[in-house]
């Protein structure tokens, strides 16, 4: 039953009509629990509150399914404005982005041109940019563009998904770039041809990736809400005396807030991924797919408390 619910929400996440309607009608159905605001301005208070607690963030202007040059240019400009706002408001923040929003599905030339504009601005203000990883069909291309940009800019990182069979090889192949990597389980619906269907295998692979990247001496962001993976990371760093400034934990805005604070109190770096923007629908559906129990929360949002 739970698997059916997951598949249903992942199916809904891809629906273009619902995506357009959601944009039009604004943050609804309890999405405000996971999305800081419809604009960056309305999200700044929430970001500052996290910073004041001692939690750095990475902000993400939500957006998917860009299939024309004009929209890609607008999304690129949004990123540039966000970098400027980080600098102006003195936020302790990185920026995460999805390259499909910058034209990845249109052409390599376009996405590279847009990414360089963003990277130039980010370099000027010393802001780290992380390229989120999208579905499997974009993984190879995303990594190729990441490698290209990493040769030109230091302040760029990307994401590796533990559910993909290819990921351990990718982490090894990326080692020559000594990249900052965010390691995650993976949020999209992928076939067994390319991704481990069983959670236990994903978890095992996640641990292998964390161990490999950390022991290769690289900066590692362990992005998870899973206590077992967090425990594994803590034990690994203690066992190998890995300095606390070589890794961080990351969690999503609004998810396991007490655990976030606990890790911070224990002395770990805890970064919060803060999404904002009116294109919240796909992101919200993926969060519901991860934890169908959240549907109860949404129903309360629809029908009142
Ligand atoms: P898992 O889903 O196994 O959950 C473990 C436990 O955490 C659950 O039992 C529950 O207690 C709690 N939990 C998990 N989700 C919850 C929720 N929605 N509400 C309440 N409790 C919840 N994916 C991707 O494909 N590309 C990317 O670029 C990124 N980027 C990214 C950044 C950051 C900072 C995070 C934290 C995650 C991502 N992800 C991602 C998403 C990631 O792939 C994955 O889908 C989610 O993190 C859920 O997996 P967990 O590791 O949390 O474990």
- What residues are in contact with ligand 1 under a 6 Å CB criterion? 132-133, 159, 161, 182, 184-188, 223-226, 250-252, 255-256, 273, 287, 290-291, 294
* pLDDT at 192 (0 to 100): 96
The domain ranges of the chain are 36-279
Res 61 pLDDT > 50? yes
Contact 14, 282 (CB under 8 A): yes
Res 1 pLDDT > 50? yes
pLDDT band at 145 (very low <50, low <70, confident <90, very high): very high
Residue of 123, 120, 119 lying closest to 97 (CA atoms):
119
pLDDT band at 34 (very low <50, low <70, confident <90, very high): confident
Res 46 pLDDT > 50? yes
ipTM associated with this complex: 0.95
d(CA 103, CA 107) in angstroms, rounded, equals: 6
* pLDDT at 59 (0 to 100): 96
* pLDDT, tens digit, 9 for 90 and up, residues 245-302: 999 999 989 888 999 999 999 999 999 999 888 776 676 767 667 666 565 554 444 3
The length of the chain in residues reads: 305
Query: In whole angstroms, how large is the CA radius of gyration of the chain?
Result: 18
Which of 3.20.20.220, 3.40.50.720, 3.30.830.10, 3.40.50.2300 would CATH assign to domain 36-279? 3.20.20.220
Q: What is the mean pLDDT of residues 5-11?
A: 67
d(CA 141, CA 99) in angstroms, rounded, equals: 10
Ligand 1, closest atom to CA 58?
34
Predicted TM-score (pTM) of the model is: 0.89
Q: What angle do CA 157, 161, 167 make, to 5 degrees?
A: 90
Q: Could you say which of 182, 271, 286, 287 is catalytic?
A: 182
* pLDDT at 255 (0 to 100): 85
Residue of 30, 21, 38, 250 lying closest to 157 (CA atoms):
250
Average pLDDT value for the chain: 88
CB-facing half-sphere around the CA of 120: CA atoms within 13 A = 8
Contact 58, 130 (CB under 8 A): yes
Q: Is 138 a catalytic residue?
A: no
* pLDDT at 135 (0 to 100): 93
> 18 — phi, psi (to 5°)?
-65, -35
Burial (CB count within 10 angstroms: exposed 0-12, middle 13-18, buried 19+), residue 255: middle
Query: C-alpha 32: how far from its chain's center?
Result: 17
* pLDDT, tens digit, 9 for 90 and up, residues 91-100: 999 999 999 9
Helical H segments across 137-190, by residue range: 139-152, 167-174
* pLDDT at 295 (0 to 100): 55
Q: What is the mean pLDDT of residues 173-194?
A: 95
* pLDDT at 293 (0 to 100): 59
Q: Could you tell me the distance, in angstroms and rounded to a whole number, from the CA of residue 33 to the centre of ligand 1? A: 15
Q: What is the mean pLDDT of residues 173-183?
A: 97
21 is written with which tokens? Answer: 């309607």
């Amino acid at each position: 039953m739970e698997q059916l619910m997951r598949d249903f929400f992942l199916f809904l996440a891809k629906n273009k009509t619902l995506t357009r309607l959601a944009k039009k009608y604004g943050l609804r159905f309890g999405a405000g629990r996971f999305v800081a605001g419809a604009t960056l301005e309305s999200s700044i208070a929430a970001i500052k509150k996290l910073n004041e607690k001692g939690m750095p963030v990475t902000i993400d202007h939500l957006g998917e399914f860009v299939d024309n040059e004009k929209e890609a240019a607008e999304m690129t400009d949004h990123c540039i404005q966000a970098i400027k706002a980080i600098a102006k408001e003195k936020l302790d923040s990185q920026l995460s982005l999805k390259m499909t929003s910058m034209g990845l599905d249109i052409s390599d030339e376009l996405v590279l041109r847009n990414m360089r504009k963003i990277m130039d601005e980010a370099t000027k203000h010393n802001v780290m940019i992380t390229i989120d990883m999208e579905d499997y069909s974009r993984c190879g291309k995303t990594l190729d563009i990441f490698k290209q940009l990493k040769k030109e800019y230091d302040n760029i990182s990307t994401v590796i998904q533990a559910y993909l069979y290819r990921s351990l090889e990718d982490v090894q192949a990326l080692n020559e770039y000594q990249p900052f990597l965010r390691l995650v389980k993976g949020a999209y619906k992928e076939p067994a041809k390319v991704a481990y269907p069983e959670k236990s295998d994903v978890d095992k692979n996640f641990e292998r990736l964390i161990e490999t990247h950390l022991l290769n001496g690289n900066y590692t962001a362990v992005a998870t809400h899973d206590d077992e993976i967090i425990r594994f990371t803590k034990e690994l760093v203690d066992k190998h005396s890995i300095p606390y400034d070589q890794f961080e934990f990351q969690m999503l805005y609004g998810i396991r807030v007490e655990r976030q604070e606990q890790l911070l109190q224990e002395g770990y770096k805890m970064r919060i991924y803060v999404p904002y923007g009116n294109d919240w629908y796909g992101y919200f559906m993926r969060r519901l797919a991860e934890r169908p129990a959240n549907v109860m929360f949404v129903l309360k949002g629809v029908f009142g408390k």
